[in-house]
Copies of this chain bind each other. A is one copy, B any other.
Amino acid sequence: MNDASSKPWTMQQIAAAAGVSVTTVSHTLSGKRPVSSETALRIRGLIDQFGYVPDAGARRLKSGRSGMIGLAVPDISHWYFGRIARGVEELANERDYGLIICSTSNSDPRREKRYFNLLRTRSIEGLVYTASREISPTDELMRMASSSSPIVLADEEVVGLPGVPSVTSLNFAGAQALGRHLRALGHTRAVIVAGFAGLRSTVERVAGIRESFPDAIVVHGDFELQSGYDLVDELLAQGVGFTALFGCNDYMAVGAMRRLHEAGLRVPHDVSVVGFDDVDIAGVITPGLTTVRQDMLEIGRRSAQLLIEGLDAGSMRGIPSVTLPVELVVRGSTGPVAGE
């Protein structure tokens, strides 16, 4: 025969067992109409006994709401996106929403199609989207956004998407603070290990640093540790001289530090290094990485909050974007420029 788990109980069966109609069972559960306490007690007893739970699919079909929101991140295994995910999950739970996760990994178009389809099929009511690269006007995202689907951009703003709220950090102000910090320490020759050129956050951070270091050399990486390592490798090979290195995120900064270390350059004595984000490893490496702390958890929470507000309001129109403050965290990787 079948497994014990094969068939869950239906309202029908509960009703039959209690000798009443499904309506009465439904009303007992919802309380939309009075049910005699005697009948109610009997029904509730049966429900507990059989472990009946209303089928989510049927409920969903009738109500038109799935009670789920989606989260699309490049890679859920990154600490950084994990924090966002946790924030989104926390708030979704508080508001009684479930969370469906979509890793976009390398922005695989098939994957992308898949989770936007979740929106179309009403599997999810809205989507928190974290971009990791430049969004071209031909992207699905654009199409969805223009059909005014409930979407909130987390962590990374996308230009050309009017009516789509975003939750980001004060990238410019953070970079500004880093620039001034190193400037105050006497540095003049700087290198910026930037992220993808097309990303808004990269542009803002570079601009913030440039305020103090207008002539800084800029090279572009992919936000991964290895990328910071490789880029410094090239710079050293080319004989580029510098005493300050800005990483557009902590991972690249750490990668850069590794390469510098291998080259016999001491941090911060020979080169001061800063990052951005304040990820978990920033505080545990030696020396500690001076960086700008972003509150990723809060970015996740606020994103989910905006999305759910929009869902409740029936439209994302009028939902304002949010920009969160950042904080300069000075650790051991920065110091005064050494006298020659």
Contacts and interface: CB of A to CB of B under 8 A. Distances in A.
A56 B103 contact: no
A293 to B, nearest CB: 15
Contacts of A75: 86
Interface string A41-72: 00000000001011111111100101010000
A101 B120 contact: no
B120 A8 contact: yes
Contacts of A148: 3-5
A98 to B, nearest CB: 6
Interface string A140-174: 00000001111000000000000000000000000
Nearest to A3: B315
A15 interface: no
A53 B117 contact: yes
Interface centre among A6, A57, A101, by most chain B C-beta atoms within 10 angstroms, is A57
Nearest to A84: B77
A118 interface: yes
Nearest to A4: B148
Nearest to A65: B57
Contacts of A225: 284
A76 B79 contact: no
Interface string A62-104: 0010101000000111110011011001100100001111110
A248 interface: no
A17 interface: no
Contact of A120 (B4, B51, B83): B51
A75 B89 CA distance: 10
Interface string A314-326: 1101000000000
A149 B5 contact: yes
A111 interface: yes
Contacts of A114: 93
A68 B67 CA distance: 14
Given A61-B61, A280-B281, 19 more contacts: A4-B148, A5-B147, A5-B148, A8-B120, A53-B120, A57-B57, A57-B64, A57-B122, A59-B121, A76-B76, A77-B85, A77-B86, A77-B297, A79-B79, A79-B82, A98-B123, A225-B284, A258-B284, A281-B284
8 contacts: A6-B314, A55-B61, A55-B121, A60-B61, A89-B102, A99-B101, A225-B284, A281-B284
